[in-house]
Amino acid sequence: MILCLVKYVFNLIRGDYMNLKDVKIVSKRLIQVPINKSYAESLYKNFTDEVTKYMYPTPSENIEGVHAFISNATTKINNNTDLYLAILDNETNEHIGGSGLHHIGDKDPEIGIWLKKSAHGNGYGLEAVNAIIQWARENISFEYIKYPVDKRNIASKRIPELNNGKLVKEYDTTTDSGKTLHLVEYWIY
């Protein structure tokens, strides 16, 4: 935490403190940019019960809920505490999911990702997370990145395992909607 604060102050003095709203993470097949209201319809349509089966968040019941989520995410982006990203196919510009790096500035930011159903099985999740980890290593200070995942979500568990994540915790949690998740938490250094 002290190292993060020192880096923040140093960057302020140098005058080049990063604004998360300007982040653009490009990888071989994907572009990740801060979420904004232009992605609301796609998010509403594709962030479904099936996609969120093993996730803490639940789909919004209406488009107003999506707009409220985007407004809250934008505030956190502008405050440089959380990075909420839209994942786009870099050839078609199609919105295929979302990712995030939360609690930036802490020793242990947390990464998250979701992909719409039609994007599953193409390795996009691994590519997106790898790109975020690389960006984090180049731009922020941290001890490790947390990657909690439901142990039944085999495809998502492979992502931290392929990033040499260390399995450090296993616990159950209940979501606001009453769903029980059986989480394993990996730390990626």
pLDDT grade for 11, boundaries at 50, 70 and 90:
very low
Residue 120 lies in a domain: yes
Please state, rounded to an integer, the average pLDDT across all residues of the chain. 92
| Whether 120 contacts 87, CB under 8 Å | no
Q: For residue 87, which phi and psi values (nearest 5 degrees)?
A: -100, 125
Residue 58 lies in a domain: yes
Residue 26 lies in a domain: yes
> Can you give the C-alpha Rg of the chain in angstroms?
16
Report the number of distinct structural domains present in the chain. 1
Residue 186 lies in a domain: no
pLDDT in tens, 57-83: 999 999 999 999 999 999 999 999 999
User: Rounded to an integer, what distance in angstroms lies between the CA atom of residue 140 and that of residue 5?
Assistant: 10
CB contact set of 78 (below 8 Å; sequence gap of 6+) = 20, 21
pLDDT at 18: 77
**Residue 7 pLDDT > 80:** no
Structural domain of 25: 2-146
pLDDT grade for 12, boundaries at 50, 70 and 90:
very low
Residue 170 lies in a domain: no
Going by C-alpha positions, the residue among 127, 129, 72, 76 that lies closest to residue 99 is 129
Residue 116 lies in a domain: yes
CATH code of the domain in which 136 resides: 3.40.630.30
Give the number of other Cβ atoms within 10 Å of residue 177's Cβ: 11
Going by C-alpha positions, the residue among 99, 79, 76, 75 that lies closest to residue 87 is 99
3 state SS of 37: helix
What's the token pair of residue 74? 């934008």
**52 vs 7: which has the higher pLDDT:** 52
Query: What DSSP state is assigned to residue 25?
Result: E
Residue 30 lies in a domain: yes
Tell me which long-range contacts 151-158 makes (C-beta under 8 A, separation of at least 24). 151/182, 151/183, 151/184, 152/54, 152/182, 153/53, 153/54, 155/120, 155/121, 155/125, 156/54, 156/113, 156/125, 157/184, 158/126
pLDDT in tens, 134-178: 999 999 999 999 999 999 999 999 999 999 999 999 999 999 889
pLDDT in tens, 13-51: 444 467 999 999 999 999 999 999 999 999 999 999 999
Residue 141 lies in a domain: yes
